[in-house]
Chain A
Amino acid sequence: MRKAGVSRFSGRFSVSLAQMQESGLVLGPAALDEILGGGLDRHRVHEIVPAGLFNLGTAAGFACALAARNGAGSVVWIQQCMAALEGGRPYGLGGAPFGIASSRWLLVETHTAKDTLWAMEESLRTPGVTAVIGELAGPGEMADLTATRRLNLVLQERRALGLLLRQQFRAGTSACGTRWRVAAAQGRQDGLGGIGTLAFALTLEKNQRGPCGAWNVEWNCDEASFAALPVPVAAPARHRPPRAA
C-alpha cells in the first residue's frame, strides 16, 4: 500500500527510456554517453566543481562547453559577487573557443547565493535561453537538496541546461543529475609549441543513471563536440635498433 503511494508520487518525475534519450545532451565520446544513459539529462541540474584551487577557469570552461553544445540561444551566467573576486568576471571575448559570441551572454551579478538561485530559476523558465550557469562562491551551501530539487522541477518543462558551478567542493546531498570534478588536462600539441588544444580531465563523482568514472576529453571548437583524448603511452625509444624479425 505504502509502496504504491510512493510510486504514484514519484510517477510525476519518472521518465521513460525514450524520453530519457530525448532529454539527453549527447557529449561525444561513446563511453561517456553510455554511462550517462544517452547523454547529460536536461531535466536535472548538474554540478561542476573545480578539482583544485587553480582550476576555476577550467571548470568554467567545461560549463561553457556544455552550454555551447546545447544550442545557439542565449547563455545566462549568474555570478555571486564574491565569486567574481575569487575567479574574475566572465569575459565576452573568451567565449570564442566555445563558439559563444559576446552578444549571446547575459551576465547577472548577485550579492547572495539565494539571489543566484532565484535568478537561475527565473532564467531557466525563459524560452530562448540555452543554458544557465549559476556560480556560487565557496562551496555554495545554499544550494542544498531542497534548492537543487526546485531547480529540477523548473527544468522538467524546459530544454535549457541548468549548471551549478561551485567554487569549492561541498560535502552534502543534492538533487543534481551528475557532479563533475574538473581539472585541466594536457591537450594535443600541434608541433609548434604552445599550450595545445583545450582539454579537460573529468572525474564523474555522482551519476544518477549509472556508474562514475574518470576521462580525459578534449574540446573540438569547430564541431562543438568533445572527443576522448588518446591514452598516453610511452613513446617508442628511438636509439634502439629495430628488433630483428
Chain B
Amino acid sequence: MVIAGAVGNAQLLTAVNDAAARLGLSIGLPLADARAMFPALSVAAMDESADQALLEQIGGWCLRYTPLVGLAPPDGLTLDITGCAHLFGGEQYLHRDLLQRLQRFGFAARAAIADTVGAAYALARHGKTTIVPPGGQREAMADLPLSGLRLDMEIIAGLKTSGFTCIGALYSLPRAPLAARFGTILWLQLDRALGRHDEAIAPRQLAPRFTVERAFAEPLVRMEDILIITEELAARLTLLLGERGQGARRLTLLLFRLDGAVQSLTAGTSRPLRDAAFIRRLFVDRLTTRDCDYDSGFGYDLVRLCADETENLDAAQDGLSNGNDAQALACLADRLTARLGKQHVLRLMEQDTHTPEAACAALPAQMAREFAPASLPPQDTLLGARPLRLFSKPQPLDNTPMATAPDGVPLRFRWRRVAHEVVAHEGPERIAMEWWRGEEAPTRDYFRVACKDGARLWLYREGLYGKAAEPRWFVHGLFA
C-alpha cells in the first residue's frame, strides 16, 4: 500500500507502508515506475488537508504535556517541555507515556528529547538514543544522516555528492567554502541543532497565562461530573487570579477524551472576571445546549481550565454577580454571548455620519467597552425622524411610485405585492453619500410616508432624475 500525490508536475509516492518498503519502494519514486514494477500495488491519493487536520488534532492532544506545542509539517510535532517533565515523573516517563498513548490510538510514533529543536528533530527521525543528556547533542547527532538537519533536498544531494554522509562530518569543516556553495542556511541549521544558535518553536497557540487542571484515573462520563469539576477548577482559577490581581477576559475549557479527541470550549467576557460561580455558568450554557458537540464517548481523563487573556482587576470588585447594574448587564451579555455567539449580542454606538445604516453601529457587546467613546458625539438637533426598525438590506419597491412630479412625493406604490396609498408624508430629506470615502454612491431622498393600510414607511429614492442611471426606490425602515 502506498500513498501518492502530486509533487510539482509529477505523481510521486509520498508515503509507503512496511510491506511496500520491503518490496523496495521508497518515498519520492514516481508512481508510474512503482506501478510498472508492481501492477497489483494498491494506491491511495494523498489528502494534505486531512493530514494537516490530523496533525493539528494530535497537537491539540499533546497540550496535556505542555502548553507550547508547535507543528512540524508534514509529519512532526515539537513540544517545549521545559519545566513540564517533572510533572510526569521525569523525562523518560514522559517519553514513555507519550509514545504508549499514541500507540494505543494506533499511531506509529517516534520521539526524542534533546536540548534543541534541531537535535530532537534529527534524533526522532534517525537516531537510536531517545533522550539526550543536557549538552550531549553534539555526540548524539554525529552519526545521523544529513537529512536530519532540516535542509532542502538539493543541499543534501549536493553534500552527498561532495562525500559527506553524516552530520558529524560537518563539525570540523571550514565554514566559508561550504557557505559559498550551499548558503548560510546549512550552518544556521547546524548551529541551531547544536545549540549555538537560539531557536524558538512557533506554538500552535500562545500559552495561557493561568491554567488549572485535574486528571482522573477513572474517566468522567457524566455531564454532571464535568460541571462539578468545572466549578472546582473555576474556584482554583479565581484564587490564582486573585493572587495576581487579575481578571479573566477569555477562558478556555479543554476536555481531553480517552480516545485522544480534545474538545475545547471558549468563552469571552466583557469585563475582567474573577467569580467562580459565574465562570461555571458560562460553560454550563455551552455544555447543555444541544448544538454543542458534546459526546463523552469513553469519558474524559483530563479537564483543564485556562485563562487565555487577563486584565488587571482590583480586589475591590470581587463578587461581580451581586455588584451594580452595569456589571449585571455585562454578565448577562457574557452569558448570552457564550451561547449565541459574539456577533449576535450587540450594543449600539452612534457614529458621526449621516449615512443612516452607519449612523448607529452595532458592536459585539463584549467589545463595546473598548470602543466606547469618552463622550457622546454632540446630538444633531436638526436630524430628521428616524425609523424604529431598519432593514439591513433596503427592500426595493415593486414598481416606480406614482407621483405628482417625477422627483415629487410618492402617492401610490407597490411593496411586497401589496398596493399602498399614501395619505400623509414628510420629506424629502436629502442625504448625500460621503464622496470622500471614494466610492460613487448616488444621493438619496428620504420620505416618511403614512399609508392608508397603516404602514408607516421610510422610503428613499436612490439617484436623481436626469442622470444616466434611472433612480430606484427602496423601503429602508419602518416607523412606529
Q: Once bound together, how far apart are the Cα atoms of A128 and B324, in whole Å?
A: 8
- In the assembled complex, the CB of A171 is this many whole angstroms from the nearest CB of chain B, namely 22
B369 CB–A CB distance under 8 Å: no
Q: Are A126 and B328 in contact (CB under 8 A)?
A: yes
Contact partner of A103 (CB less than 8 A), chosen from B324, B345, B348, is: B348
Q: Are B456 and A93 in contact (CB under 8 A)?
A: no
Q: Are B344 and A109 in contact (CB under 8 A)?
A: yes
Please name the residue on chain B nearest to A119 by beta carbon: B336
Q: Are A74 and B329 in contact (CB under 8 A)?
A: yes
CB within 8 Å for A108 and B477 given contacts A57-B456, A126-B331, A128-B325? no
Interface string of B390-409 (1 = CB under 8 A from A): 11100000000000000000
Q: Once bound together, how far apart are the Cα atoms of A115 and B326, in whole Å?
A: 23
Task: Choose the segment among B14-22, B86-94, B176-184, B446-454 that binds chain A (4+ C-beta atoms closer than 8 Å).
Answer: B446-454
Contact partner of B344 (CB less than 8 A), chosen from A62, A64, A110, A194, is: A110
Chain A residues positioned under 8 Å from B387 (CB to CB): 57, 88, 91, 94
Task: Choose the segment among B218-226, B234-242, B357-365 that binds chain A (4+ C-beta atoms closer than 8 Å).
Answer: B357-365
A170 CB–B CB distance under 8 Å: no
Chain B residues positioned under 8 Å from A92 (CB to CB): 348, 350, 360, 362
Q: Once bound together, how far apart are the Cα atoms of A189 and B392, in whole Å?
A: 31
Please name the residue on chain A nearest to B365 by beta carbon: A106
A84 CB–B CB distance under 8 Å: yes
Q: Are A93 and B386 in contact (CB under 8 A)?
A: yes
Q: Are A93 and B359 in contact (CB under 8 A)?
A: yes
Q: Once bound together, how far apart are the Cα atoms of A128 and B350, in whole Å?
A: 22
Please name the residue on chain A nearest to B359 by beta carbon: A93
Chain A residues positioned under 8 Å from B347 (CB to CB): 103, 105-107
A183 CB–B CB distance under 8 Å: yes
CB within 8 Å for A93 and B346 given contacts A58-B456, A87-B389, A107-B362? no
Task: Choose the segment among B147-155, B418-426, B463-471 that binds chain A (4+ C-beta atoms closer than 8 Å).
Answer: B418-426
CB within 8 Å for A84 and B392 given contacts A93-B386, A107-B346, A119-B340? yes
Contact partner of B350 (CB less than 8 A), chosen from A61, A93, A118, A119, is: A93
Q: Which of A99-141 contact B (CB under 8 A)?
A: 102-103, 105-110, 115, 118-119, 122-123, 126-129
Q: Are A91 and B365 in contact (CB under 8 A)?
A: no
A54 CB–B CB distance under 8 Å: yes
Q: Which of B326-353 contact A (CB under 8 A)?
A: 326, 328-329, 331-333, 335-336, 339-340, 343-350
Q: Once bound together, how far apart are the Cα atoms of A93 and B384, in whole Å?
A: 10
Q: Once bound together, how far apart are the Cα atoms of A88 and B391, in whole Å?
A: 4
Contact partner of B388 (CB less than 8 A), chosen from A52, A55, A74, A90, is: A90
Chain B residues positioned under 8 Å from A109 (CB to CB): 340, 343-346
Chain A residues positioned under 8 Å from B345 (CB to CB): 106-109
CB within 8 Å for A57 and B388 given contacts A73-B325, A102-B350, A105-B347? yes
Q: Are A88 and B478 in contact (CB under 8 A)?
A: yes
Contact partner of B480 (CB less than 8 A), chosen from A61, A74, A129, A194, is: A61
A175 CB–B CB distance under 8 Å: no
Chain B residues positioned under 8 Å from A74 (CB to CB): 325, 329
Q: Are A194 and B348 in contact (CB under 8 A)?
A: no
Q: Are B340 and A110 in contact (CB under 8 A)?
A: yes
Q: Are A91 and B477 in contact (CB under 8 A)?
A: yes
Q: Which of B26-65 contact A (CB under 8 A)?
A: none
- In the assembled complex, the CB of B122 is this many whole angstroms from the nearest CB of chain A, namely 52
A37 CB–B CB distance under 8 Å: no
- Chain A at the B interface: SS class: mixed
State which size class the interface on B falls in: 35 or more
Q: Once bound together, how far apart are the Cα atoms of A64 and B388, in whole Å?
A: 9
The listed residue with most B CB atoms (<10 A of its CB), out of A73, A106, A129, is: A106
Q: Are A184 and B454 in contact (CB under 8 A)?
A: yes
Chain B residues positioned under 8 Å from A95 (CB to CB): 388
| Count of A-B residue pairs with CB < 8 Å | 170
Q: Are A183 and B454 in contact (CB under 8 A)?
A: yes
A25 CB–B CB distance under 8 Å: no
**What is the interface size of chain A, counting residues whose CB is below 8 A from a CB of the partner?**
53
Q: Once bound together, how far apart are the Cα atoms of A88 and B394, in whole Å?
A: 9
A28 CB–B CB distance under 8 Å: no
CB within 8 Å for A94 and B389 given contacts A64-B480, A105-B347, A194-B424? yes
- In the assembled complex, the CB of B131 is this many whole angstroms from the nearest CB of chain A, namely 52
- In the assembled complex, the CB of B192 is this many whole angstroms from the nearest CB of chain A, namely 50
B206 CB–A CB distance under 8 Å: no
Interface string of A40-71 (1 = CB under 8 A from B): 00000000000111111110111011000000
Please name the residue on chain A nearest to B324 by beta carbon: A128
Chain A residues positioned under 8 Å from B388 (CB to CB): 57, 60-61, 64, 90-91, 94-95, 97
- In the assembled complex, the CB of B426 is this many whole angstroms from the nearest CB of chain A, namely 5
Q: Once bound together, how far apart are the Cα atoms of A198 and B448, in whole Å?
A: 13
Contact partner of A51 (CB less than 8 A), chosen from B348, B454, B456, B477, is: B454
Please give 15 more A-B residue pairs, beta carbons under 8 A apart, in addition to A57-B478, A94-B390, A195-B425: A56-B389, A74-B329, A76-B332, A88-B477, A92-B348, A92-B362, A94-B480, A96-B386, A103-B349, A106-B332, A107-B345, A109-B340, A127-B325, A195-B426, A195-B450
Residues of A within 8 A of B (CB): 51-58, 60-62, 64-65, 73-74, 76, 84, 87-98, 102-103, 105-110, 115, 118-119, 122-123, 126-129, 183-184, 193-196, 198
Residues of B within 8 A of A (CB): 324-326, 328-329, 331-333, 335-336, 339-340, 343-350, 356, 359-360, 362, 365, 376, 383, 385-392, 416, 418, 420, 424-426, 448, 450-451, 453-457, 477-480
28 example contacts (A-B, Cβ-Cβ < 8 A) are as follows A53-B453, A55-B454, A57-B387, A57-B480, A58-B479, A60-B478, A73-B325, A76-B332, A89-B389, A90-B389, A91-B388, A94-B386, A94-B480, A103-B348, A105-B348, A106-B333, A106-B345, A108-B346, A109-B340, A109-B343, A109-B344, A119-B340, A126-B331, A127-B325, A183-B454, A184-B455, A195-B425, A195-B426
* Closest 3 pairs (CB-CB, A-B): A61-B480, A128-B325, A57-B478
